[in-house]
């Protein structure tokens, strides 16, 4: 199995259209797919992100510059994510196609690297592995 992050993106128009959908209906749509993901045993995490509270740390200069976000245009932002544990990117795509959406929304899928992909004889990797084991993440 591998982890894949499904990153939810939308245009300003899609956000406006979504705001017209009654909240209970949106909860129903999201609840149904979340329940399917849970029953299939592939959901590791799913969270929505606050559209207004954002801070950006920019490393372009010698000293990092901190500004209020969100960063960039709405079309560059993501509003939520899922992390799935599925064997292939094709299966992640199939799940993404089932998510509720509307015109102007997109889902980007990225594989999540695991600690096993890094040199295991590295001191920092060993420390992280110990922490992950101690906290039940491995």
Rounded to 10 deg, the angle between the 23-40 and 89-98 helix axes is: 150
Backbone dihedral angles phi then psi of residue 105, each to the nearest 5 degrees:
-105, 145
CATH of the domain at 110: 3.30.70.1060
pLDDT, tens only, 116-129: 989 999 999 999 99
pLDDT, tens only, 55-96: 888 899 999 988 887 655 555 567 889 999 999 999 999 999
pTM: 0.80
Mean pLDDT score, 34-53: 89
Number of domains in the chain: 1
Domain that holds residue 31: 2-134
The token pair at 129 is 């592995």
What average pLDDT is seen over the chain? 87
Contact at 8 Å (CB) between 4 and 92?
yes
Contact at 8 Å (CB) between 80 and 48?
yes
| Res. 52: pLDDT tops 90 | no
Backbone dihedral angles phi then psi of residue 33, each to the nearest 5 degrees:
-70, -40
Q: What pLDDT shows up at residue 32?
A: 92
């Amino acid at each position: 199995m591998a982890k894949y992050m499904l990153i939810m993106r939308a245009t300003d128009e899609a956000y406006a259209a979504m705001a017209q959908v009654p909240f209970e209906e949106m909860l129903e749509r999201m609840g149904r797919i979340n329940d399917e993901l849970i029953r299939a045993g592939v959901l590791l995490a799913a969270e929505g992100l606050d559209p207004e509270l954002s801070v950006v740390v920019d490393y372009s200069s010698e000293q990092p510059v901190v500004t209020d976000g969100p960063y960039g245009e709405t079309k560059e932002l993501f509003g939520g994510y899922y992390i799935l544990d599925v064997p292939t990117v094709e299966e992640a795509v199939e799940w993404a196609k089932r998510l509720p959406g509307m015109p102007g929304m997109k889902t980007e899928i990225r594989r999540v690297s695991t600690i096993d992909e890094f040199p295991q004889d590295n001191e920092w990797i060993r420390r992280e592995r110990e922490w992950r084991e101690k906290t039940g993440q491995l």
